[in-house]
Amino acid sequence: MDLGLQGKRALVTGASAGIGYAVARSLAREGARTAIVSRDEGRIGAAAERIRAETGGEVLPIAGDVASSDGPVRLVQDAVTALGGLDVLVTNAGGPPSGNFDDVTAEQFGTAVDLTFRSVERLVRAALPHLRAADWARVVCLTSITAKEPHDGLVLSNALRPAVHGLAKSLSRVAGPAVTVNCVCPGFTDTERLRDLAAAAAGRKDTTPEAVYGGWKANIPRGELGRPEEIADAVVFLCSERASFINGVSLAVDGGESHPLL
């Protein structure tokens, strides 16, 4: 299937590792000219080199912090300057700290708002004029299955991921006739972030990370965690020309672990 992404200009944040990296690599494989973002200049540069080597695609590394007040504007402008415009925006950031309500501070709540919610708002606000100028454009917000079903020990994610979905749904109505806005909600996926969550959960429950992993896997019908590339496949389809009539959707990609009806 031709996804119609050849030559399209894409910006992916949080792309030095994990799901963001897998999304950027898949976009590059489809022929998209892709700018990738991470706070660490060395890591994002190395990620760009690996993607170029694997795909032969055009990949531009940009170092910057999506959680800062002015970072998203600069990142979008750098990408637009380098690529000559923007057709695809994929918002992604490392998840907020784990913990239940009594475990997290008011300061951590504030920081999580900037990282998890305001970063999306600021990125879209900066990118929207460029997306509206494109023939067609896509925004995909990577969030978490916690937006659909809260999980123990993830109060910050439980509270803030749904806010991103509310924003995305609202934007899907007004972004423009050729601009779609959707969310993808990854479930338990084998990433560095999940390994950190397993270690934290093991500490809270006085057990081992292996036991935590076992519990997670037991709730997934196939009995295995997701792989980053499986999440990326869903994201890239929503970024494609083929997804032109999918708008305002929150898609769970969790192997059937969650139980919402919608």
- With beta carbons less than 8 A apart as the criterion, state whether 138 and 88 touch: yes
CA angle, 250 then 252 then 255, to 5°: 170
Q: Encode pLDDT of 14-33 as tens digits.
A: 999 999 999 999 999 999 99
What residues does each domain of the chain span? Answer: 9-187+231-252, 188-225
pLDDT band at 200 (very low <50, low <70, confident <90, very high): confident
Q: Chain centroid to CA 226: how far?
A: 15
Q: Encode pLDDT of 136-156 as tens digits.
A: 999 999 999 999 999 999 999
Q: What is the pLDDT of residue 198?
A: 87
Q: What is the pLDDT of residue 186?
A: 97
Give the global pTM: 0.96
**Residues contacting 248, CB < 8 A, separation 6+:** 168, 169, 172, 173, 180, 181, 182
Instruction: Say what angle helices 209-218 and 192-205 make with each other, to 10 degrees.
Output: 110
Secondary-structure class of domain 9-187+231-252 per CATH: alpha beta
